[in-house]
A and B are shown apart, each in its own frame.
Chain A
Amino acid sequence: MTSRTADSEHAHVAGYRPADRGTQPEYLYPPYSSTVKRSPSQPLVLLPASLSEVTGPLFGWDVIHANDFDLTKQHAGDPIGERIVVSGRVLDANARPVADTLVEIWQANAAGRYPHPRDNHDAPTDPNFTGCGRTLTDADGRYRFVTIRPGEYPWRNHYNAWRPAHIHFSLFGRAISTRLVTQMYFPGDPLLEYDPMYTSIPDERARRRLVSEFDWETTIPEQALGYRFDIVLRGRDETPMESDLSRGGER
């Protein structure tokens, strides 16, 4: 039988620790020009953990369809490009797997083009590729997608600006505190060091963790190269803090 508790026992709940120093971009990063008009100028107000912050939507397999994990099988024909397997584990900062959590991805096609009304890059769309996928992690936090390697594409941030090849990832974890949207990059991409999204991350090691690794283990013979991308969400405190004011606001 589930134990039920009173309101008073939720006066102190264990919260999620802030992200490690240097691992997260600031809102304002002028080399990425769109941040200038869209970043808050006032300091964030630090909140102690309550039920509002340590809960969040939990999704099940009912929202996932059979081909959602395989972006090469969502249309009548095969998409153009190099087939790849992208897989990894979702862990928390306490090194525990984050099980049964929704992972959403989206990406450009092999030519670096999105099927989106605002993408007017002069490259072909692919009628057999939408570039949208989703899945749930298993009990060990593992996820797996089959897709095609996305192309690089130009953008107008600065002269001769090109985005490195990337796949967008969206994750929830167990609470809105752990909500994360990020991008996965590919090893050896020469565009990374010129990309203000990548360089917005202060810590060099934290940047490199957004670069997937080539992986023989998940490479399918005569089918697809494997890339591994592990994701770490914020970890939860073991016990409720008497006062969350004692900890810094660094994120």
Chain B
Amino acid sequence: MSLRTTASQTVGPYLHIGLTWLVTDNLVGPDFTGEPVTIDGRITDADGKPVDDALVEIWQANARGRYDHPDDARNIPLEPGFRGFGRVPTNAAGAFRITTIKPGPVPAPGGGMQAPHINVLIFMRGMLRELRTRLYFPDEPANASDPVLARVPAQRRGTLIATPRGSGTLGWNVVLQGPDETVFFDY
């Protein structure tokens, strides 16, 4: 038996009422292993105008590359208290900030490993269904062999890779439309 999937609709401009109770902008705890990293992001539209009413969600493995989910049954320890989920709205400047741990590599389809990455979902007014993208880390040798980056046209790969800004901070801009448009995924 197969049922037909329910249609997506926009979160609209008043998403904060329903969704900000679960804002999680700092995933780092005192006992976690790994390298803390702060992501300073910004979302702009086709005219370069900041998107001040978006919601950004992240999902990631822990520093050892383990997802806190029963489907990841590998013999790699979880970090108690580290769920790997973050949620943050953009501010008036279209900016958002999330502090987390750099995830470890996870298995790739077909064998091998994927480079460390953070899965990102974006919701906003004017978007009838969510956007899905990934953030990759700069100066990460594994990027060169990452099978997902390999699927992306070379000239657009840079949109997925954050920029070092010093003292554990990474800059990452999401461009919804235009010449520097961020790569978005379907999965």
* B-binding residues in A (CB < 8 A): 2-8, 10-13, 15-16, 18-20, 23-27, 29, 32, 34-42, 44-58, 63, 91-95, 104-106, 108, 114-116, 118-119, 130-134, 168, 170, 174-177, 179-183, 197, 200-201, 205-207, 209-210, 231-235, 244, 249, 251
Contacts and interface: CB of A to CB of B under 8 A. Distances in A.
A35 B17 contact: no
B114 interface: yes
A35 B127 CA distance: 6
Interface of B: 1-19, 21-22, 45-47, 49, 51, 53, 57, 59, 61, 67-69, 71-75, 83-85, 106-114, 117, 119, 121, 123-132, 134, 148, 151-152, 156, 176-178, 181-187
Contact of B14 (A11, A15, A55, A119): A119
Contacts, number: 268
Contact of A116 (B14, B19, B111, B113): B14
A156 B55 CA distance: 22
8 contacts: A11-B112, A16-B187, A35-B128, A49-B187, A51-B107, A56-B85, A119-B14, A206-B7
A105 B106 CA distance: 33
Nearest to B67: A55
Contacts of A234: 5
B8 A25 contact: yes
Given A42-B156, A94-B2, 4 more contacts: A5-B75, A11-B111, A55-B72, A168-B11
A133 to B, nearest CB: 8
A40 B184 contact: yes
